Amino acid sequence: MSNPQRLLIIGNGPVGHQFLESIVDSGKAADYHITVIGEEPRAAYDRVHLTAWFETREAESLNMVKEGFYEANNISVKCGEKAVAIDRDAKLVSTDKGESYAYDQLILSTGSFPFVPPVPGHERDNCFVYRTIEDLEAITAAAQNAKVGAVIGGGLLGLEAAKAIKDLGLQTHVIEFAPRLMAVQVDDGGGALLRKKIEDLGVGVHTQKNTQNIGDGEQHLHKMSFADGAELETDIIVFSAGIRPQDALARQSGLDIGERGGIAVNNHCQTSDPAIYAIGECALWNNRIFGLIAPGNEMARVAANHVLGGSEDQQFTGADMSTKLKLMGVDVASIGDAHAATPGAKSYTFIDEQAEVYKKIVVSENGKHLLGAVLVGDAEDYGNLLQFALNSIELPEHPEAMILPNLDGSASVGLGVDALPDSAQICSCNNVSKGDICAAVQAGSQTVGDLKSCTKAASTCGGCTALVGQVLNAELSKLGVEVNTDLCEHFPYTRQEMYHLVRVGEIKSFDELLDKHGKGKGCEICKPTAASILASCWNDYILEPQHAGLQDTNDRFLANMQNNGTFSVVPRMAGGEVTPDGLIAVGSVAKKYNLYTKITGGQRVDLFGATVDQLPLIWKELIDAGFESGHAYGKSLRTVKSCVGSTWCRYGVQDSVGQAIDLENRYKGLRSPHKLKMAVSGCTRECAEAQSKDVGVIATEKGWNLYVCGNGGMKPRHADLFASDIDTETMVKYIDRFLMFYVRTADRLQRTSVWMDNLEGGIDYLRKVVIEDSLGICDELEAEMQHVVNSYQCEWKTTIENEDKLKQFRSFVNADSPDADIVFVEERGQIRPATEEEKQLNSDLIAVA
């Protein structure tokens, strides 16, 4: 376009960013000169998971903007700049920096602001709102000198804030004006159970409390006085009493505003000025404000479509406000008409006081359609019930069976995914339908992880993950892609099933496994898999005769083969710690055998260029110097990286090096479906990068935070916080269970990150298995790990002590001479493999191995 349209967006939050992504995804971003003005000092970040900031205390962990997104799409971003006026006639926006920006179309994505009741004293020190990263940073700083915290507001965000305050180590109280918590989403029965569960966590819950005054306290900073005469002293107060649309800019410019606030919009999200759109929490559609991310994202898509001149049929016509979340560890879900307000509506309620579960469904007067539901304590039925409600699917003859437990072992009463129409919305956060998922599967997606990448389904709140998996498997079956999980043609079992066959049958060799459960002679898939399983279960020496021929090259030679046929040798340096004498010994070995040396990312020294006949000689010298195998060649624990921690660092709060050494010495030699990496950081500054590891440990003032299922590499994944402020004994117990459960259940060559992405129930399910022992297997997992620990052996040492084993470490079976084809050149003072051209043209520079 010769004169690109000027597209100006005010507000750089999640909804504003969704608008930008919609424009970019259309392929028409180049037709516009796009500018984004954001009042906050940083680009768009994930407010849905705002509380997750406390896990890392780094804003980057919530960043929603892919690297290079703005630059690649020629988007100009103005952070820390506030729009202060709109001149609609001149189509200009002025900012507090004295700048003016022209527009052809203007998008208002200004969001909302926290409502602070005008209670006398609300402006005192240590009174906060819970909205931005800066708010959380201020709350964290204040908590350093506080003992008690109170949250005014018992809704969704209020309970999130309460969890944050509790996790900061403060005695916590929730004050709610209504007679129950989450008054909008749950009914009296659900609210009563939710209150009990939260009180059981040690949080004080005060309902029907009208705060009249905040003054000086006697024991604490504040004294809160209530209308009923009660008082509560606290050091910190967080207001979370609802939101109000941020409509001041629109109001000032003369746009139509709702009676109770909000920028009035039509079905295309246009305001009373056709050149101006409003989306998200600032927008008022049909006299309603939508305070969830899914409706905001849908508004952004609708507005983008209209700006681009797309189909008039794409309109915003309201949104489902159903929600499923975990509040302070309690599963809570609300669907549709949860309060049975529809005339003639009938309710069915199930209460299990022993298990602390409350379920209610609301059905139409004729009993044929689901209108709403409330689930507290167990929200597993959410996806099934939501589809009945959204798609007006006729209920079974006895609707109550949908929420009753199945005590006789019969199948649950529910809806198969085949019955859903293609238009059924599976992921409301990202507007992904069943048809979208089916199309992605037809285009080649075969895992939940694939679908997350290409459709964004299950990538925001994760509540639809199980349903996404069901649609995936159903569609694969329809395509004639037999959802065949056989390991290979020789074993009609998954890796998980093979593991159980080996464990339960106490099978000790591949031949025995093949004889009892397989056919043929085996292949390059099943042999290494069986070898790994046998090692995980029994931890025998991997070069024993019964395991011969099963290993790949690296395991067979206990070293990593490089591109010129030589090997690299990596001695273990637990926790990255090594003495000066150790370093000298490693240097002497490298110098003696003319090896290239490099520090690895896992804080070890890698020695490159060893020929196969040199391996035992090098191992012996390293073992004599106090080293052992680093298992860099195996699908096993590689390293436990560490920072120097409290021993040396002025910021450290725990001994991270000592902890890393203990963990590495415990888990060294553990064979697993894929390689394992761990790290321990001595404080939240996270110098060891623990949150990018399969198992990460970060020190806190009270103990350790445990993270799992992260990884770097081709597809990086941030680890999930698994448990907070746990002691060392508990941490080791959880890691034992986690690792052995992974070894039991993961697929062949599946990293923990991918395993987690495809694990139905995700991190919450994993916590139930590992922490709550929901499957009753934790004693077994611990015993299996202890066997691995007790039976550890250095495979290098075992090899050099066995004359028969040493015979395989020759370049040629019938001669002891080295391989003359292995040659090097010198570069930067060390050797490197010679290229073919160098071998031909620069033979005088080549050092023969």
Question: Does the pLDDT at position 259 exceed 90?
Answer: yes
- The 3-state secondary structure of 472-513 reads HHHHHHHCCCCCCCCCECCECCCHHHHHHHHHHHCCCCHHHH
Q: Does the pLDDT of residue 406 top 70, yes or no?
A: no
Model confidence at 733: pLDDT above 90: yes
Query: What is the rounded distance in angstroms from the CA atom of residue 504 to the CA atom of residue 489?
Result: 23
Residue 241 CA to residue 530 CA, distance in Å, equals 58
Q: What is the pLDDT of residue 270?
A: 98
DSSP state of 598: E
Of the two residues 759 and 195, the one the predictor is more confident about is 195
Better-scored residue on pLDDT, 409 or 655: 655
Confidence label for 384 from pLDDT (cuts 50, 70 and 90): confident
Task: Tell me the average pLDDT across 728-755.
Answer: 93
Mean pLDDT of 116-127: 96
Instruction: Return the pLDDT at 814.
Output: 46
pLDDT score, position 807: 80
Q: Among 429-433, 543-547, 733-737, which stretch is predicted with the lowest mean pLDDT?
A: 543-547
Tokens, residue 8: 């100006």
Q: What average pLDDT does the segment 778-786 reach?
A: 95
> Would you state the pLDDT for residue 423?
82
Residue 93 has pLDDT above 50, yes or no: yes
Query: Alpha-carbon distance 751 to 758, whole Å?
Result: 11
**For 692-702, what is each residue's pLDDT tens digit?**
999 999 999 99
Sheet holding 847-848, edge to edge: 830-833, 823-827, 847-848
- Looking at per-residue pLDDT, the higher value among 278 and 322 belongs to 278
Q: What pLDDT is attached to residue 199?
A: 92
Which of 192 and 555 is assigned the larger pLDDT?
192
Q: For the residues 19-28, what does the mean pLDDT come to? A: 95
The mean pLDDT value for 62-91 works out to: 95
Query: Whole-prediction pTM value?
Result: 0.60
- Asked if 250 and 263 count as a contact pair (C-beta separation under 8 A), the reply is yes
> What's the whole-number mean pLDDT along residues 170-179?
95
Look at residue 282 in the predicted model and tell me its pLDDT: 97
**Which structure tokens are listed for 112?**
């909302």
Q: What is the pLDDT of residue 811?
A: 58
Report the distance separating Cα 578 and Cα 318, nearest Å.
63
Mean pLDDT of the 79-89 span: 97
How many other β-carbons are positioned within 10 Å of the β-carbon of residue 827? 10
Name residue, tokens 């680093």.
Answer: 630
The position carrying tokens 């109280």 is 173
- Mind listing the pLDDT tens digit for each residue in 435-445? 999 999 999 88
Residue 837 reports pLDDT greater than 50:
yes
What confidence category does residue 409 fall into, taking pLDDT thresholds of 50, 70 and 90?
A: very low
d(CA 271, CA 264): 6
Q: What is the pLDDT of residue 714?
A: 60
Average pLDDT over residues 348-371: 92
Reported confidence tier of residue 1, pLDDT bands at 50, 70, 90 = very low
Predicted local confidence at residue 842, as pLDDT: 57
* pLDDT per residue as tens digits for the range 207-251: 999 999 999 999 999 999 999 999 999 999 999 998 999 999 999
Examine the pLDDT at 691 and tell me if it is beyond 90: yes
Q: How confident is the model at residue 47 (pLDDT cuts 50, 70, 90)?
A: confident
Please check whether residue 545 is in contact with residue 634, taking contact to mean a CB–CB distance below 8 angstroms: no
Answer whether residue 846 shows pLDDT above 50. Answer: no
Indicate left, alpha or beta for 435 from its phi (over 0: left) and psi (-120 to 50: alpha): alpha
Residue 422 host element (H or E): none
| 49: confidence class by pLDDT, cuts 50, 70, 90 | confident
pLDDT band at 330; cut points 50, 70, 90: confident
pLDDT at 757 over 90: no
- Residue 815, classed as helix, strand or coil, is strand
Specify the DSSP element, H or E, that contains 30. none
Share of the chain above pLDDT 90, in %: 65
**Pairing relation of β-strands 703-708 and 720-726?**
antiparallel
Is 831's pLDDT higher than 60? yes
| 428/296 Cα distance (integer angstroms) | 11
What is residue 267's predicted lDDT score, i.e. its pLDDT? Answer: 97
pLDDT given for residue 397 in this prediction: 85
Alpha-carbon span 420 to 438, nearest angstrom? 12
Helices (H), 668-761: 728-745, 752-757
Amino acid 848: pLDDT: 43
- 532 pLDDT above the threshold of 70: yes
Residue 484 pLDDT: 63
* Residue 620 binned pLDDT confidence (cut-offs 50, 70, 90): very high
Longest dimension (CA), the chain: 96
pLDDT category at 354 given cuts 50, 70, 90 is: confident
Q: Is the dihedral of CA 313, 315, 317, 321 positive or negative?
A: positive
The mean pLDDT value for 41-64 works out to 87
With CA atoms as reference, report the closest residue to 434 among 445, 425, 447.
Answer: 425
Q: Is a pLDDT exceeding 90 seen at residue 742?
A: yes
Residue 432 pLDDT more than 60?
A: yes
For the ranges 182-186, 201-205, 570-574, the one whose mean pLDDT is highest: 570-574
Q: Which pLDDT score is estimated for 413?
A: 53
Mean pLDDT for the chain? 90
Q: How high is the pLDDT of residue 353?
A: 86
Spatial distance between the Cα atoms of 706 and 56, rounded to a whole number of angstroms:
12
Checking if the pLDDT of 677 tops 50, the result is yes
